Amino acid sequence: MERGSRVSSASVSSQGFEVVRGRGYRPLQVIAFVEALSDERDAAWERAARFTVLAREMEEELELLRVRVAGLAPQTYESLGESARRLFGLVQEEATAVRESARQHAQDVLDLARDEAAGVGEAAQVYAGAVRADADERAREVLEAARAEADGIRVGARLEVKERRGETLAALREMRERTSATLAEGAREQAERLDEVEREEAVRLAALHARQVEAEAAAERLLAEARQVFADAEESARRRAEEARERAEEVLAEARVRAEGVARETERVLRDHAERREDVQTHMDHVCASLSALTGRAVE
């Protein structure tokens, strides 16, 4: 009995697999499905990379703001008195606004980096667990289908042997009955014919037994292949889960480094603004002292 004759009409599962004997999947389709899941995981990593590029662009924008602040021309005072005080007030307001804007921007970048790192790590762990669980389930289904098919091969071969043996015994009984009825006419000839028939049937039974052995060997090979598919899928899932965990740790570490760099740069910008404010205050104090010396009265 050929293997193809034992496979029932294939149906299609919700994942697109062809179902063999009503409950198993083809190994190649399972492997293709696992590879598709790997492609989805790679797409998730690409999205994480795009978020990384966005954080870098935000850092570059902060650097441009710092350069613009550093490039501001020194203030000059063409007139003194009330105008000088208003100018000093405007400088203080601008310094305060820039400092608050820089602090808020740095905090936003830090929060975004932390949220993104946490999200990537959690998503990687969840995805790795899902890939491993799905691969295990698919491999178990393939193994169960292979076992069921092997059992079907064994049962079919044994039923065929029993059926052919029954036919052979019936033919022998019929031949003996005929031989007994005509023994008086040709006992020797019929005996030889009976021996020949028995030899032919023995050869046929031997051939059937050989086919049974071959069928059982094919079933064992199928089981061995299914076990190998299961082992390969389990190893692939374990390796991909490990890669996902390592990548999540790398992304988290990079996010922390970027956040620390942004925090340091923000502190430096704040220090620069504080120094500039002190310089302006010193200059204003000097102007007021000069006015007091020239006019002989205190300048408010």
Q: What pLDDT is stored for residue 179 in this prediction?
A: 63
Three-state SS at 20: strand
Q: What pLDDT is stored for residue 91 in this prediction?
A: 66
Q: What pLDDT is stored for residue 86 in this prediction?
A: 67
Residue 253 CA neighbour count, 13 Å, CB half: 6
Tell if the pTM clears 0.75, that is, is over it. no
Q: What pLDDT is stored for residue 155 in this prediction?
A: 78
Q: What pLDDT is stored for residue 12 in this prediction?
A: 45
Counting beta carbons within 10 angstroms of the beta carbon of residue 225, is it exposed (0 to 12), middle (13 to 18) or buried (19 or more)?
A: middle
Q: CATH number for 23-66+80-295: choose from 1.10.287, 3.30.420, 3.30.70, 1.20.1440.
A: 1.10.287
* Mode of pairing for the β-strands spanning 18-20 and 24-25: antiparallel
47-54: long-range contacts (C-beta < 8 A, 24 or more apart)? 48/116, 48/120, 48/251, 51/116, 51/120, 52/116, 52/251, 52/254
Which residues of the chain are modeled with pLDDT < 50? 1-15, 17, 19-24, 75-80, 299
Q: What pLDDT is stored for residue 169 in this prediction?
A: 74
Q: What pLDDT is stored for residue 194 in this prediction?
A: 72
Q: What pLDDT is stored for residue 159 in this prediction?
A: 79
